[in-house]
Amino acid sequence: MLNQRSSLLRLFGVALTVTALCACSDSSDRPSAPPVPEYLPIANPDVSLPPDEGSINLLAQNFDLGDVGYQQSEYFLEGNASAFTNLSELMRDGLWEAEPGEQAAYKTRIVVYRPIEPADFSGTVIMEWLNVTAGFETPPSWGTGQLEMRRGGAVWIGVSAQLIGIEGNENGLLPLHLKAVNPARYGSLSHPGDSFSYDIFSQVAQAVREPVGIDPLGGLVTERIIAYGESQSAGRLTTYVNAVHPLYNTFDGYMIHSRGGGSSSLAQEPQVSIPTPEAPQVRTDLNVPVMTFATETDVVFLGYAAARQPDTDMIRTWEVAGTAHGDIYTFVTGRDDTVGDPVFASVIEENSVLGFISCEKPINNGPHHYVFNTAVRALDEWVSTGTLPPTSPRLEINDDGSDYIYDELGNARGGIRTPYVDTPSAILRGEPNSGASFCRLFGTTSLFSAEQMATLYVDESGFVDAVTESTNAALEAGFLLPEDADAITTWAPQQWRRQTDEAP
């Protein structure tokens, strides 16, 4: 039944509604129903195995995937991809018209994480547009939500969609792009430029959905493919949703994770540049679900507030209090999170990301990963069954849009509430940090003193009771998962003891 629903959405889209309305009249002079949309075919790339030279390059996790029931593989894909041109002015409403244009040859790679046991596969493929802001590829949506992705039995695929991931650039944080790390393995890769990245991403989905020759999923049957992209990749997904999805109906859903106010150009040099408007919204005539997940950093500092739009049956936006664009879990501690141990609910002060980014203030260590886990599951259920995710309150912003409105303890008001901000042990903000360049995206953490904790909660029992109550409220509201809620309440006594010097 679920497969039938997904197939119908993909085949008929929004035209089903139009056809049904027209069919209600038998008037002979009424115009005939409009035709079902005819989507353009997606080219199927050639899939091959990489040279047996060294190991797969992707900074994703510290643990062995085999220890958690997953296996890792890598494939090269090559073919001819199209750039796109616009047919009319690109307006803020996102209702963009585009068409494929110039073609160029490419050869790229994908990394696939899939369950070892086929029976553990849920049918969901999560396809992440790897982020290249650092001058090399990172998988921040996997880094934030990998625990729930694995718990749900999804296949995760990281796509090298952009030029920088392969060739690097002079402003890279470290020389970790593919050809620098392992030229023997990756030297044959070739990217014609980011104007072609949208079609490359589409062709990867085609190779997964309708494999010819080598199957990247090793025989697993795909029921739905959901596209993910974080930060700069979220900007590219926004453009993809508005301009490219209507042409191909490529994906069954989208997670636009931590976008700012803008979106990526439809085309860029050396092609004729086609910039997109400031603060574009997601188009409202979609036939598949789109979830936007926003942190405090995204809404004010990165300007997403200007792109806010009402929720619909196909659009949901979650804004989460106490969170930052990048945080300690995504880039440091979460790399060791194999089973959701309660220790990952801890709030700590840490200034450094893996020793090569150091910030002046401790980096945000808020509830980003727990609420994102919930979003991962909610989007999967939305795509699979049509069950709508809960509606998120919006974060409260001052009149000139320059900052949040804060509560008496210093945390932002509004947005999705969790015990991290409703019964806090710290001030958790998405404001710009200082230090290395990326610190501006990492927010801040300021732990309460032992005296503050005692004033707020009196003793350990008072703190644990308060955390349990607010955790249950977030669980009931649909913004925490039961297994993560258990981890938070289980850790609460340890959090109290560490902050009040009562730890054994």
What rounded mean pLDDT belongs to the chain? 93
Helix axes 482-499, 450-457, angle to 10 degrees: 120
404: tokens are 């949040």
Q: What is the mean pLDDT of residues 215-226?
A: 98
pLDDT at 34: 57
Short-list 460, 423, 84, 412, CA closest to 236:
84
CA distance 230 to 218: 27
For residue range 410-447, list pLDDT tens digits in order.
Answer: 999 999 999 999 999 999 999 999 998 899 999 999 99
Q: Residue 197: pLDDT band by 50, 70, 90 thresholds?
A: very high
pLDDT at 2 over 70: no
Residue 397: DSSP 8-state? B
Give the three-class secondary structure for 502: coil
Sequence-distant (≥ 6) Cβ neighbours of residue 442 within 8 angstroms: 324, 325, 326, 327, 353, 357, 359, 363, 364, 433
Reading the block at residue 247, the tokens are: 């042409």
Is the pLDDT at 159 greater than 80, yes or no? Answer: yes
What residue ranges do the domains of the chain occupy? 1-38, 43-288, 344-504
User: What is the rounded radius of gyration, in angstroms, for the C-alpha atoms of the chain?
Assistant: 23
Looking at residue 171, its pLDDT comes to 85
Given pLDDT bands bounded at 50, 70 and 90, which one contains residue 3?
very low
pLDDT in the model for residue 249: 98
For residues 409 and 462, give the distance between their C-alpha atoms in angstroms, rounded to a whole number: 17
Under a CB-based contact definition with an 8 Å cutoff, are residues 139 and 182 in contact?
A: no
pLDDT of 27 > 80? The answer is no
Token couple for 498: 């560490």
pLDDT at 4: 37
Residue with tokens 């115009």: 31
Q: How would residue 501 be classed by pLDDT, with cut points 50, 70 and 90? A: confident
**pLDDT at position 246:** 98
What 3-state class would DSSP assign to 451? helix
Q: What is the pLDDT of residues 46-76, one digit of tens each?
A: 999 999 999 999 999 999 999 999 999 999 9
pTM given for the model: 0.93
Q: Is the pLDDT of residue 6 over 60?
A: no
pLDDT digits (tens, 9 = 90+) for 248-294: 999 999 999 999 999 999 999 999 999 999 999 999 999 999 999 99
Containing 376, the helix (H) or strand (E) segment is helix 368-385
User: What pLDDT score does 36 carry?
Assistant: 62
pLDDT at 302 over 70: yes
Q: Report in angstroms the alpha-carbon separations of 107 from 49, 104, 161.
A: 12, 10, 10
In percent, how much of the chain has pLDDT > 70?
92
Asked whether the predicted pLDDT for residue 18 surpasses 50, the reply is no
112, 206, 383 from 109: Cα distances, Å: 10, 14, 27
299 pLDDT more than 90: yes
- Residue 267's pLDDT is 98
Angle between helices 450-457 and 460-477 (to 10 degrees): 70
pLDDT at 31: 54
User: Mean of the pLDDT values across residues 190-216?
Assistant: 98
Amino acid 436: pLDDT: 83
228 with 240: CB under 8 angstroms?
A: no
